[in-house]
Amino acid sequence: MMTSAQHSILVVDDNPNNLAVLSDFLGEMGFEILVARDGESALQKVNYALPDLILLDVMMPGIDGFETCRQLQSQPHTSEIPVIFMTALSESHDKVKGLSLGAVDYITKPFQQEEVLARVQLHLKLHTLKRLLTDQNHQLKQEVETRKTAEAALQKLNQELENRVAERTQELSKALEDLKQTQLRMVQGEKLAALGQLVTGIAHEVNNPINFIAGNISHASTYVQDLLELLAAYQQAFPEGTPAIQAKSTEIDIDFLQADLLAVIRSMKLGADRILEIVKSLCRFSHSQEETKSVDIHTGIDSTLMILNSRLKAQPHRPRIEVIKNYGELPLVDCYPGQLNQVFMNLLANAIDALEAGIEPGKPSQASPQIHITTAVAAENQIVIKIADTGPGMTAAVQQQVFQPFFTTKPMGKGTGLGLSISHQVITEAHNGVLKCHSSPGQGTEFLIQIPSTQA
């Protein structure tokens, strides 16, 4: 049962007996009770003590409940307070009028205490959930603005670094080949240092809001489960319902909604946990290494495909991207799971981008776009993972630069040129392995990962 602590309820009724009964009963339930004998008094009270919910009589001297509700809804500071009408009126047009004015429910007099408590608790819980979702949306908007600012700064820094590299390369071309190679390595080191600083900053900015979201998803899941259980109880108690309820249930496909809602929340939880894992991996990549773990590589690939599932679905400009898995018998692999999953994310996302870029607008696709994922044991203590697409491929000149920091063939704002550079460092330095790219124009692209199954 929902706790009543710290929830205040304003009861508005011109009948002293009704006020006394409701005040005593709800007070015993732990609610803080405010009372008013008419609409004018109620409007005055909410100006200095905002309640969490209002029980409002319809028939009162002075301004009636309908007008009181209308004035409450017209004020920004009171418009979000749930209003439940208490009335002996049974005509449907009266109820429709009240609901159209902003009320959330009706309680018919004479009322049952259990019904009053159930409706009060339901609408307080809905109001609390609504405020929680509003706060989360505000937090998400702030995160989007922060990400936009970070991306703009990253693009500016990218351009500045490219200009500096171009100028320095021009100067080195006048010197001996040995000196030119030395200077190029210095530039590369400078880029990697800037990369570490950027990754650390971005990870820090993302970590706080995603922790907030991940922490609240479990609460939201509990609230939704409670609401579904309450709905099931109503369905069991009133299986036929009213014609309006039956029509609405059919319109929203209530059975599908009940079955799918918790699955949606579980997917949100999985996505939030994956973002947290990626943020942690970025922090470890920029600072210190995590301990290796023995994991199932296929599990990491499958979880990455789950996160990218929405991008694999059919789009207006292209058919669904088919993923073909050719999994071999692999042992458990000693690795840094978070970093390795980040590599899978980068390579699969790039494959999807390449397939989309290879589709010409207005022309039907000749074949279904595909991504092939192959795993196998290459040799003693070595495993191979291949991720290949049927996209347009790339030239030899592009292949020579794909692992360079900040190099990208995507339009401005579509990519940062960091994904493959980070992936290369994760595979070669953190896992003592090899990351290669095989491609040619019109023949698609394949990335090959080879790492030892056990790390020294």
Picking from 227, 293, 237, the residue whose alpha carbon sits closest to that of residue 261 is 227
Picking from 400, 398, 405, 402, the residue whose alpha carbon sits closest to that of residue 164 is 405
Q: What is the mean pLDDT of residues 339-362?
A: 83
Q: What is the CATH number of domain 289-358+366-452?
A: 3.30.565.10
Q: Which whole-number Å values give the CA distances from 189 to 137, 182, 298, 408, in the listed order?
A: 40, 11, 34, 19
Q: What pLDDT score does 5 carry?
A: 54
Specify whether the CB–CB gap between 435 and 428 falls below 8 A. Answer: yes
Q: What pLDDT score does 290 carry?
A: 58
Query: What's the pTM value of the predicted model, to 2 decimals?
Result: 0.43
Q: What pLDDT score does 188 carry?
A: 44
Note the pLDDT tens digit of each residue in 293-306: 898 999 889 888 87
Give 140 or 379, the one with higher predicted confidence. 140
Q: Is the pLDDT of residue 289 over 50?
A: no
Q: What pLDDT score does 329 carry?
A: 92
Q: What is the mean pLDDT of residues 194-217?
A: 75
Q: Round the average pLDDT of the chain to a whole number and report it.
A: 82
Distance CA 352, CA 311 (A): 8
96: tokens are: 């429709």
Note the pLDDT tens digit of each residue in 223-235: 888 888 888 888 8
Sign of the dihedral defined by the CA atoms of residues 266, 271, 273, 274, in that order? positive
- Structure confidence at residue 366 as a pLDDT band (50, 70, 90): low
Q: What pLDDT score does 363 carry?
A: 59
Entry field: residues in the chain: 456
Fold exhibited by the domain 8-111 = Rossmann fold (3.40.50)
Omega cis (within 30) before 239? no
> Domain limits of the chain?
8-111, 129-277, 289-358+366-452
Q: What pLDDT score does 358 carry?
A: 72
Picking from 378, 374, 370, the residue whose alpha carbon sits closest to that of residue 386 is 374
Q: Which amino acid is at 451?
A: I
3-state secondary structure of 92: helix
Q: Which helix or strand (DSSP H or E) is residue 389 part of?
A: strand 382-389
Note the pLDDT tens digit of each residue in 139-192: 888 888 888 888 888 888 888 888 888 888 777 776 665 654 455 445 444 554
Residue carrying structure tokens 């679905």: 313
Distance CA 95, CA 105 (A): 9
Specify whether the CB–CB gap between 31 and 1 falls below 8 A. Answer: no
**Residue 41 C-beta-side C-alpha neighbours within 13 Å:** 14
- Structure confidence at residue 30 as a pLDDT band (50, 70, 90): confident
Distance CA 76, CA 63 (A): 20
Most distant pair of Cα atoms in the chain: their distance: 101
Q: What pLDDT score does 452 carry?
A: 94
400: tokens are: 């020579």
- Residue 241's region, left for phi above 0, alpha for psi from -120 to 50, else beta, is left
Which residues, including other chains, have CB under 8 Å from residue 441's CB and lie 6 or more apart? 392, 393, 394, 395
Give 166 or 332, the one with higher predicted confidence. 332
Q: Which helix or strand (DSSP H or E) is residue 391 part of?
A: none
DSSP for 396-416 reads: HHHHTTTTSTT---SPTTT--
3-state secondary structure of 450: strand
Distance CA 210, CA 359 (A): 34
